[in-house]
Amino acid sequence: MSTTSPKSVKGLRQFVGLEQQRNWMKGRAALRDDGERSDSPELRLKYVTRFQKLLRRPQAQQALEILRIYSQNCIPVPRKTERYYWSVSCLPSTSDRPLIRVNASWMELFTLYADAEGIRARFIVHLSDFATDRSSAQRYVDEPFLEQCVTLPEDVSYFFPRGEDIFGIKVRGSSSIRKFLAMTRVLRAIRAFNLTHMNRGRNAYQGSHCYSLADQMLD
């Protein structure tokens, strides 16, 4: 008999068992995500102006299309976990001036930026998922694989954020971002990282959740 108290279960494990999570990560199973979404009229109203401002940007439609692809493929049970276990920010007031950012726990997961009239994306993942030897050693980054994941080799670059086994990947251009998100190994790596942080507990960025953007992702 399990001695685990329901109150001690954190994150996604309240909604989806670990085995189901692993199967979803590997692309072996879909996760049921029915039910009504949470809502906050006050929070919804707070970011309406920013959302309208985003829609006037020349990159808006590209960004929204990529965001839908990301949400459909990379966030587990997004309707059940909206805001409290992941959130999306619209034109967040940070120094790098992104268009859109997705967070979970205390971690950035995915960010979209303007790049002239187009867009570029930044993914945060586990370094070990992109190393030739599956370690977290920076010298073993699988650069040939990264170049295969985009339309042109120069569309991809990477960096090393602070933290153990943390890896940042930058992809430029809508076509390369789409190709990147369609790669099986990449998708599995993104899902693994997102599961890690959504299982850590409540999202620290609930107050910056833009419901208007989430509507585009989920409805």
124-156 pLDDT tens trace: 999 999 999 999 889 999 999 999 999 999 999
CA pair distance 77, 32, nearest whole angstrom: 7
Out of 33-47, 53-67, 108-122, pick the least confident.
33-47
Please determine, for residue 5, whether its predicted confidence score (pLDDT) is greater than 90: no
Percent of residues, the chain, with pLDDT higher than 70: 96
Residue 2 has what pLDDT? 42
- In DSSP terms, which residues pair with 182 in a beta bridge? none
Q: What mean pLDDT, rounded, does the chain reach?
A: 94
Q: What is the pLDDT of residues 166-219, one digit of tens each?
A: 999 999 999 999 999 999 999 999 999 999 999 998 999 999 999 999 999 997
Residue 69: count other Cβ atoms within 10 Å of its Cβ. Answer: 15
Report pTM. 0.93
pLDDT at residue 4, as a whole number: 47
pLDDT given at position 7: 58
CB 194 within 8 A of CB 72: no
pLDDT of residue 1: 41
